[in-house]
Copies of this chain bind each other. A is one copy, B any other.
Amino acid sequence: MFNDFKLMDDRPVSIQVKEYVKRLIIKGALQAHQKLPSTRELSTLLSMSRNTIISAYEGLEDDGFAYVVHGKGSYVAAAVSSVAASSWELDWGARVNAHARQAVELDLMKRGIRAKKGTISFTSIAPDEKLFDLDNVKRAFQDRMSVEGNVLLNYGYAKGYKPLIDYLLRYMDHKGVDLKGKDLLITNGFTEGFDIVLSALNRKNGSVICENPTHNTAIKNLKLHGFEITGIAMERDGINLQELEQALSDKAFDCAYFVPSYHNPTGIVMSPEKRQTLMKLMTRYQVPVIEDGFNEELRYSGSHVSPLMAAAGQGNGVIYLGSFSKVLFPGLRVGWVLADRELIDYLESIKRARSIHTSTLDQSILYQYLHNGNFEKYLRKARAEYKRKYEWTKQCCEAFIPYEQLSGDGGLHLFVAFEEGFDTRVLLEACSSQGVIFTPGDIFFTKDGQGRHTMRLGFSRVADEDIGKGIRIIGETARQLRG
């Protein structure tokens, strides 16, 4: 015994010794009330300083694994060992419910193609971390810590970190949103906000209307919440209003979900005129709107376009979900819900029951970063870089891909549609064997089997050279497949 000890990593040695002895005790190799080797003996045996062993033994005592008899030494404490109750096997597959099974079925991360090393991958629309201004983030952390210190590490509020809430309210005010009668809840990114909103909404008809195609995480969560989804076709300048009005008059909906700017996956920005008419329609049919503010900041050209919530003026029919995740730092899980004050009060209680509150550290660092004026600087840099990549990717698509339609007014991806009947799953098969992958478009459609002829190309994290190389391969392979 004791001679098989070895240092596992660079953690303090005394802790590794403590844990080693702990294991011997737990596994029963050392029995209750058995005497432990003296600190001198063990220090010789392990050739370590005696102090290291002493503090290891103190640790064992602190943790209740050993006790000291003065003048005699350390002994193993009683009642430590836990002889297993008759080992017990449950069939968890039978213990989980339909919701859990559906969550796995709809979990694309578990069914996506794994990219081998060196693969050119157009599947990501996450920001390019090389652009992150880490020093400003570090400064924000230090600044905030020196202002508030320890309180940042203790419990915060379900509603969110007050300075950030105030900052975001002003931020939304500057987008032209009328804040009267509205309030804001901080969430763990867009996804938690969307999930909380869906679990609060009354299910009178159990149906939701949205653009088709649309954000696949939204489709997933709508399904997980048991909503039936009606998808409305997209046009070059946004959702098809005739189809929308037809659907609204045919059927009652509990709510609508729209991505008006840099729509995922088509990248289309809904025209200001359409936004006005859309809001008039939703008002007439009294269908509340969940607006996904996704990527609004990644405008590369043209005039500023106000969110739907701005078009609603003092009206309270729009629930705005915001996040900087595609622009700033997705690793900081911070998003927000701006909506009618009464509704936010309900959402706050659900949030508290779900996760108490969002990381105070994430919120306070983000706040300080924004407050220091880093966002504007960063955005200029990021916009310039993404704009360049966006134009380059577009150019490559135009040069190499035999598409029928190419869309994307900004953001971090383009959307390609081939002629009906062409199958991008087959294309993906053929391309991945050549080291190039992308996102097949069908996952963004509200009905299974739709959009098999489409694909999304995320360029944010692909090097210029690879963009050219990858898109050429996709294009050539597509031509071969079409014969």
Contacts and interface: CB of A to CB of B under 8 A. Distances in A.
A63 B301 CA distance: 9
B202 A349 contact: no
A359 interface: yes
Contact of A96 (B142, B151, B154, B201): B201
Q: How large is the interface on A (under 10, 10 to 19, 20 to 34, 35 or more residues)?
A: 35 or more
A286 interface: yes
A303 interface: yes
A331 interface: yes
Nearest to A176: B26
Given A84-B311, A87-B314, A141-B141, A23 B130 contact: no
Interface stretch (A45-53, A115-123, A188-196): A188-196
A338 to B, nearest CB: 14
Nearest to A307: B82
A39 to B, nearest CB: 18
Interface in A352-393: 352-362, 365, 371-373, 376, 379-380, 383
A79 B99 CA distance: 45
A4 interface: no
Interface in A195-245: 195, 199-203, 217, 220-221, 224
Nearest to A328: B153
A324 to B, nearest CB: 11
Nearest to A84: B313
A88 B353 contact: no
Contacts of A345: 104
Contacts of A85: 276, 279-280, 283, 311-313, 315
B154 A129 contact: yes
Most chain B CB atoms below 10 A, which of A80, A141, A150, A330: A150
B195 A302 contact: no
A357 B358 CA distance: 12
A329 B153 contact: yes
B355 A88 contact: no
B107 A353 contact: yes
Contacts of A152: 331
A448 interface: no
A29 B159 CA distance: 34
B376 A346 contact: no
Interface stretch (A132-140, A422-430, A438-446): A132-140
Given A23-B174, A361-B331, A315 B153 contact: no
Contacts of A153: 129, 132, 134, 137, 329-332
A353 B224 contact: yes
Contacts of A175: 26
A372 B15 CA distance: 10
A200 B192 CA distance: 17
A1 interface: no
A346 B224 CA distance: 13
A195 B353 contact: yes
Contacts of A134: 145, 149-150, 153
Nearest to A272: B79
A349 B79 contact: no
A288 interface: yes
8 contacts: A79-B304, A82-B275, A85-B279, A86-B315, A97-B202, A104-B345, A153-B330, A220-B353
Interface of A: 11-12, 15, 18-19, 22-23, 26, 59, 62-65, 67, 77-90, 92-97, 99-101, 103-104, 106-107, 109-110, 126-127, 129-130, 132, 134, 137-138, 141-142, 145, 149-156, 158, 170, 173-176, 178, 188-189, 191-192, 195, 199-203, 217, 220-221, 224, 272, 275-276, 279-280, 282-283, 286, 288, 299, 302-306, 310-317, 329-333, 340, 342-343, 345-347, 349-350, 352-362, 365, 371-373, 376, 379-380, 383
Given A79-B305, A109-B352, 11 more contacts: A62-B379, A85-B311, A90-B340, A100-B347, A106-B353, A126-B155, A129-B154, A195-B353, A195-B355, A224-B353, A361-B361
Question: What 7 A-B pairs come out closest when comparing CB atoms?
Answer: A84-B313, A88-B315, A64-B304, A153-B329, A12-B373, A129-B150, A85-B279
